[in-house]
């Protein structure tokens, strides 16, 4: 591993660390170490990073701001590639924007709203990056990424880059083609927005932010919604009616504010969270014969 670190440092591609705790890079503040942690300083260096990974046949995983992610206490084998400040470019051309995957979704929606552009109001409280949002088709308040994305620039494991259209991204509820069929890294995205009344857009943004503040436990470390809504039911409502709000295992606790959030109430481990997830699944199925599926992505060593 030392040889790999030295090779990466000579490449001068950005931040490189060994045995970096992923707890420092997830919103729930949980996660063991990764063998290699790389944060490329540009799109070109991201491509060089993937060439390095391919050359050395390393397992890899890309992350953004670490929301919607639960990393094993044993960490992640191989390399974790973080898309951050080096890949957060933004170009605004009328109602069309080109944005780097590392750009904060909250920051982007705030900036765009102030310019009188509509379409990103739903994202005002989603604490992820643009890349992560495209990867999982993030959404809220009746809208999602698939409603505004024109195309996404994807870097695949073999080093090739390709623009995929909205249709080619295979969007569905909180998923895209990148999660299973064609694993790859979102490098940048093009969104088609609409001109609107600036004051009305900003007001709607604030309304969405206030709603999330009032109904979701962002004062504790959390990963966002844990379960997909088993439509026509809603995960949070089922959990609440089952009397599970406030139930805890170790340092992990079901939020008393919203049933579909598990918070790190103090030194929680991934094991605590997984045990709590299983308890919810068992309870809801026993009571309502509804199978709960996780929305949060669970990764890392078993």
Which position among 39, 121, 188, 295 bears the catalytic label?
A: 295
Tell me how far apart the alpha carbons of residues 168 and 166 are, in angstroms, rounded to a whole number: 6
pLDDT at site 300? 96
Q: Clarify whether 225 is annotated catalytic.
A: yes
Q: Is-above-0.85 flag for pTM?
A: yes
Burial 246-259 (b: 16+ CB within 10 A, else e): ebebeebbbbebbb
Active site residue 77: no
| Domain regions of the chain by residue span | 2-85, 89-200, 217-299
Q: State the pLDDT at residue 198.
A: 93
pLDDT at 228: 93
pLDDT at 39 (0 to 100): 96
Confidence at residue 190, expressed as pLDDT on a 0 to 100 scale? 98
Q: Find how far residue 46's CA is from the centre of its chain.
A: 18
- Give the dihedral sign, CA 27/29/33/38: positive
CATH 3.40.50.150 applies to domain 217-299: no
Collect all residues with Cβ–Cβ distance below 8 Å to 198 and sequence separation of at least 6. Answer: 113, 114, 115, 116
Q: Which of 174, 188, 255, 297 is catalytic?
A: 174
pLDDT computed for residue 233 by the predictor: 95
Residue 212: active-site member? no
pLDDT at 302: 87
Q: Does domain 2-85 match CATH 3.30.43.10? A: yes
Nearest to 247 by CA among 230, 271, 263, 224: 263
Q: Which fold has domain 89-200?
A: 3.30.465
Residue 73: per-residue pLDDT: 98
Q: Tokens for 21, please give them.
A: 């705790």
CB 155 within 8 A of CB 135: no
Is residue 228 classed exposed, middle or buried when 0-12, 13-18 and 19+ CB atoms within 10 A define those classes? middle
- Cβ burial of 273 (10 Å; 0-12, 13-18, 19+) is buried
Q: Which of 104, 113, 225, 255 is catalytic?
A: 225
Closest CA relative to residue 118, chosen from 197, 222, 175? 197
Beta bridge partners of 151: 165, 190
pLDDT of res. 273: 98
Task: Walk along the chain (302 residues) in steps of 10 and give the mean pLDDT of each run.
Answer: 88 94 97 97 95 94 94 97 94 97 94 94 89 93 94 93 97 90 94 95 90 85 94 96 98 96 97 98 98 95 90
Q: How far apart are CA 208 and CA 197, in angstroms?
A: 17
């Amino acid at each position: 591993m030392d040889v790999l670190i030295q090779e990466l440092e000579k490449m001068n591609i950005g931040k490189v660390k060994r045995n970096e705790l992923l707890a420092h890079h997830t919103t729930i503040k949980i996660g063991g170490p990764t063998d290699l942690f790389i944060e490329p300083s540009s799109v070109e260096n991201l491509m060089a990073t993937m060439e390095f990974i391919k050359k050395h046949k390393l397992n890899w995983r890309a992350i953004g701001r670490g929301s919607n992610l639960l990393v094993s206490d044993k960490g992640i084998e191989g390399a974790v590639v973080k898309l951050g400040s080096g890949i957060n470019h933004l170009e605004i051309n009328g109602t069309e924007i080109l944005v780097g995957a590392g750009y904060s979704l909250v920051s982007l929606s705030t900036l765009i709203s102030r310019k009188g552009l509509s379409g990103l109001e739903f994202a005002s409280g989603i604490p992820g990056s643009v890349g992560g949002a495209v990867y999982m088709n993030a959404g809220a308040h009746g809208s999602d990424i698939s409603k505004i994305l024109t195309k996404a620039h994807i870097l695949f494991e073999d080093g090739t880059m390709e623009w995929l259209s909205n249709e080619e991204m295979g969007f569905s509820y909180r998923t895209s083609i990148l999660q299973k069929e064609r694993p790859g890294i979102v490098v940048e995205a093009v969104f088609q927005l609409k001109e609107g009344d600036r004051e009305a857009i900003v007001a709607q943004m604030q309304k969405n932010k206030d709603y999330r503040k009032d109904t979701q436990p962002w004062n504790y470390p959390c990963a966002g919604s844990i379960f997909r809504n088993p439509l026509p039911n809603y995960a949070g409502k089922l959990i609440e009616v089952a009397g599970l709000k406030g139930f805890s295992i170790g340092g992990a606790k079901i939020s008393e504010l919203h049933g579909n959030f598990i918070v790190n109430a103090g030194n929680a481990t991934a094991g605590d969270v997984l045990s709590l997830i299983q308890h919810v699944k068992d309870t809801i199925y026993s009571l309502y014969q509804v199978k709960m599926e996780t929305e949060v992505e669970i990764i890392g060593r078993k």
